[in-house]
Amino acid sequence: MKTKVYFTDMRTTYDNNMLDKLKNLLIKSGFNDINFKDQFVALKIHFGEYGNLAFVKPNYVKVIADLIKESGGHPFITDASTLYSGKRSDAISHINVAELNGFNSVTTGCPTIIADGLKGNDYKEIEVNLKHCKTVKIGTAITEADIIISINHFKGHEQAGFGGALKNLGMGCGSKLGKLEMHSGLKPEIDLDKCIACGMCVRNCNQKAIYMDSKAVIDKNKCVGCGECIVVCPQKAIMQKEADQSRLLNEKIAEYAYGVLKDKTHFHINFITNVSPNCDCWSNNDLPIVPDIGILASSDPVAIDMASADLVNNAETVKGSILSEKATTIHDKFKCIHGNVDWEAGLDYAEELGFGNKEYELIK
Ligand code: SF4
Ligand code: SF4
């Protein structure tokens, strides 16, 4: 049986702006059927790195938070610390960046709580007993929430292929140790024939895992597999060697997402807007690869990601974007940009684990 995924496009009128359309979408998609009364509701979002402007705007969050409050619930916006030592690696810097990007209790209508505490080590282990992980390490505030709402900016991702609901839930809710567990096993390789020893990767590796020995060399003992170097290399000399690595990452993300949602009521909202080629963890966002498509809502994190991927892959390419520079006939835009990525593996595995369905019916 197909899962219903509700969709609204980006067209507006004088009396029906995008905030009105989001509210209408949520009401039509059964969001208000959730019993929010007296429940703590985690609104899981990515605040965007400072300098990145593609993340989901706080104005949209307020529409969601207001609906929850009208039903007697207690929403809070949340994210967990990053693995790399950037601007969102502890709660103070993370909240600072969130506020700089416009997220505060006035703009979103609810407080911000960094899920895994001051230094990213406040987590609970949820037993899942799955293929890769016996337990998953999730930020405590998320484990203690009664209801999980994922608010997802749908865009490309250099290792996973794309970032949508599963990635925001799985990777995004993991504590630092959890993120390390998901990334472990992903060690990029350097093609020495392409390397011009520019040093960009050395400067951008926060683990100090790359050094120069006439060309760049990765110290595999220090590398945590975060993939930052893959994106910054101007020669495209650093890559995931095998699609197997992307499959492994996506399967671990699915196991973490399974642990986050286990025994909880949940709902998912994907924004196919500003579809940048890379993650919002970057302090920039390249020209979108497709025009803004719309907003999707569903109780199924797999169906909503599958529908989003199909909408992006079937959309026209934005002229001048990185995608338009690729002379290729590959239909899959994420593989076209990022090569050895296996995003289907995460959706297939999540379906196998029983918490979603790739078959969907798109209802406009
Ligand atoms: S960024 Fe790329 S080209 Fe520059 S040193 Fe690193 S691997 Fe070589
Ligand atoms: S993936 Fe690249 S940037 Fe990340 S730790 Fe390893 S070498 Fe450093």
238-239 and 189-190 as β-strands: parallel, antiparallel, unpaired? antiparallel
| Final residue before a domain boundary, out of 239, 274, 308 | 239
Q: Do 218 and 310 fall into the same domain?
A: no
pLDDT on residue 233:
86
Confidence of residue 85 (pLDDT cuts 50, 70, 90): low
In order of 74, 172, 207, 313, the CA distances from 85 in angstroms are 31, 16, 8, 33
Q: Do 59 and 106 fall into the same domain?
A: yes
Q: Do 100 and 128 fall into the same domain?
A: yes
Give yes or no for residue 216 CB within 6 A of ligand 2: no
Q: Do 13 and 81 fall into the same domain?
A: yes
Give yes or no for residue 209 CB within 6 A of ligand 2: yes
Domain that holds residue 350: 3-185+240-363
DSSP-based helix, strand, coil % in the chain, nearest 5: 35, 20, 45
Q: What is the pLDDT of residues 307-362, one digit of tens each?
A: 999 999 999 999 999 998 876 678 999 999 998 899 999 999 999 999 999 999 99
Give yes or no for residue 196 CB within 6 A of ligand 1: yes
How many angstroms is it from 208 CA to the middle of ligand 2?
A: 8
The number of helix segments (H) and strand segments (E) in the chain equals: 13, 16
For residue 199, give the ligand 1 atom closest to its CA: 5
Residue the block writes with tokens 């067209």: 11
Q: Do 87 and 212 fall into the same domain?
A: no
Q: What is the pLDDT of residues 6-27, one digit of tens each?
A: 999 999 999 999 999 999 999 9
Q: Do 299 and 220 fall into the same domain?
A: no
Give yes or no for residue 217 CB within 6 A of ligand 1: no
CATH number at residue 100: 3.40.50.11440
How many angstroms is it from 276 CA to the middle of ligand 1?
A: 23
Mean pLDDT value across residues 173-196: 89
How remote is the C-alpha of 84 from its chain's centroid? 16
Q: Do 225 and 89 fall into the same domain?
A: no
Cβ-proximal residues to 14 (8 Å cutoff; 6+ apart), any chain: none
Q: Do 267 and 148 fall into the same domain?
A: yes
Give yes or no for residue 249 CB within 6 A of ligand 2: no
Q: Do 175 and 235 fall into the same domain?
A: no
Q: Do 207 and 278 fall into the same domain?
A: no
- pTM to 2 decimals? 0.89
Q: Do 20 and 94 fall into the same domain?
A: yes
* Domain count within the chain: 2
CATH number at residue 200: 3.30.70.20
Q: Whose CA is nearest to atom 6 of ligand 2?
A: 223
Q: Which residues pair with 136 in a beta bridge?
A: 126
Q: Do 132 and 10 fall into the same domain?
A: yes
